[in-house]
Amino acid sequence: MSKSISYEKASDLAREAFKPYTSTVERNAAGDGFSFRVSDRQGQELLAVPTLGAEVYGDPVRLGEALQRARLDLGKKGHELEPWTMPVLTDATGIPETPPNY
């Protein structure tokens, strides 16, 4: 069974999922969600996700689905990403059962 994950781990995953591009994560003012932007090497924004609430980022399955949808959106726009899969998280520490595919 998957456990809830922390904001810190969720934001790390959001950064890792979009390589070779840069993903910038910002926590919202209330602290109950975050947004992220994916940019190319020149700093041009390729994708913006305005809000992922705690109910999404805290759930490894829902977070993985949200990140995969964003990756698909980038792919449809012609941006090639490195292979990535959501790691299997076994506890709240966010330490994957198997290493993520970097």
The DSSP line for 32-94 is SEEEEEEE-TT--EEEEEEEEEHHHHTSHHHHHHHHHHHHHHHHHTT----------B-STT-
Rounded mean pLDDT, 76-91? 84
Look up residue 29 and give its DSSP letter. Answer: T
Distance CA 98, CA 38 (A): 25
pLDDT at 91: 53
What does pTM read for this prediction? 0.81
Band of residue 82 on the pLDDT scale cut at 50, 70, 90: very high
Tell me phi and psi for residue 36, to 5 degrees.
Answer: -145, 155
Do residues 71 and 17 make contact, with C-beta atoms less than 8 angstroms apart?
yes
Please report, as a single letter, which amino acid is at residue 1.
Answer: M
Q: What is the pLDDT of residues 42-53, one digit of tens each?
A: 999 999 999 999
**CA nearest to 67, candidates 9, 12, 13:** 13
What residue segments make up the domains of the chain, in order of their start? 7-76
- Pick from 72, 12, 11: which is nearest to 47 by CA? 72
Question: Tell me: the pLDDT tens digits for 16-40?
Answer: 999 999 999 999 888 789 999 999 9
